[in-house]
Amino acid sequence: MINKLICFFTLIFFSCTESVPLNSKKDLNYGIVIHGGAGTMNRKDMTPEKEKQYREALEESVTLGYKILKEGGTSQEAVEHSIRVMENSPLFNAGKGAVLTAEKTIELDAAFMNGKDLNAGAVASVKTIKNPITAAIKVMEESPHVLLSARGAEKFAKEKDLEIVDPSYFFTERRVNDLDKIKNIESSANRSTRQADKEFISMQRYGTVGAVALDKHGDLSAGTSTGGMANKKWNRIGDVPIIGAGTYANNSTCAISATGWGEFFIRNVVGHDISALMEYKNYSIEEAARIVIHDKVAKLGGDGGVIGIDREGNVVMEMNTSGMYRAHINSEGELSIEIYKN
């Protein structure tokens, strides 16, 4: 009898000590991180006006997501709506403003993953869906599949009453000019000699947008959306719609969204590898992201960056490029917006 009583009070004691800090942690440490692409970024190329535009767009995106979290919304809603802001802005390589393929078309990829149930959805090579991130979520919620592509994915989006636009909606003068410039550089004799040209080509690989969030309920989500690589050929699909590579979320570890030279992020299974280092080796999200970006992606010759948030609200914004458009708001409402690495 005494044993049973001791057992009972021990149980009560541990239930109390465990549940209070855990709940308060969840309530306290929610947060959201977004990115608008990583790449070679020189301060000399950036006018004050251009920088202001990027900062304003990043602030609008991250603030909307934060507001959703603060009001008790889910990380899924926060990630979706933050990404939609960037998809609707012509500044980023996602949705409106996406880069052009070699055939002067637009091919958009997006993915979303929920850490709570490891459910996921993605679309690849779509040309008429205004907000691919919303289509990715619909694939997760209303189809038995994870990845739909091309015209089939567009048909699905139409059946689900998502907003369909004419492909011309996505075109911006800037991206049309960029493609002409790439084609000129690639066909010119001295394409490999001029540093400025090399940097320009390099920049065209990037610009993907993404968001990761932890909500008050303790649930993690990750989403990513992109126009892919400028001048891409052969219906190339990058790392963004590949669950485990460009997009990954798992409530036992973290939520990750990547941006960079997609092929290297696929080969390194970047998102899942960061999660695995945390789960199996007890690394912090900072250590795990540093190892994967600097020791693995960079070692194979790739570059780019990731944003991540773990289940305690710790965040990481790691890159091996000279910059990444990024912003973060923590549960205190503190906003940070950064462009350059240092």
- Give CA separation, 94 vs 2, 129, 285, in Å: 66, 11, 26
Residue 100 CB, nearest approach to a copy of itself (Å): 14
Residue 29 vs 114, nearer CB to a copy of itself: 114
If one asks whether residue 105 binds a copy of itself (CB under 8 A), the answer comes out as no
Whole-angstrom distance, CA of residue 156 vs CA of residue 142: 10
Nearest alpha-carbon partner for 131 in 94, 104, 181, 173: 94
Q: Which of 74, 208, 224, 259 is catalytic?
A: 208
* 242 part of the interface to a copy of itself, by CB under 8 A: yes
Minimal distance, residue 103 CB to a copy of itself, in Å:
9
- Using an 8 Å Cβ cutoff, are 205 and 260 in contact? yes
Which CB sits closer to a copy of itself, 264 or 325? Answer: 264
Q: Does residue 290 touch a copy of itself according to CB under 8 A?
A: no
Stretch near a copy of itself under the rule CB under 8 A, chosen from 39-47, 71-79, 242-250, 316-324: 242-250
Please confirm, yes or no, whether 17 is among the known catalytic residues: no
- Which residues ranging from 211 to 240 are in contact with a copy of itself (CB under 8 A)? 232-238
263 lines the binding site for a copy of itself (CB under 8 A): yes
Residues 6+ apart with CB under 8 A from 211: 32, 33, 34, 35, 61, 62, 65, 78, 79, 82, 83, 222, 223, 257, 307
| Nearest-angstrom CA–CA distance, 182 and 233 | 13
The C-alpha atoms of residue 215 and residue 213 are separated, in whole angstroms, by 6
Site for a copy of itself in 136-155 (CB under 8 A): 143-153, 155
Among 273, 303, 310, 318, binds a copy of itself (CB under 8 A): 273
Angle of helix 132-142 versus helix 75-88 axis, rounded to 10: 150
Catalytic machinery residues: 208
- Which residues of the chain form contacts with a copy of itself (CB under 8 A)? 113, 117-120, 124-125, 143-153, 155-156, 232-238, 242-245, 248, 262-263, 266-269, 272-273, 276-277, 280-281, 300
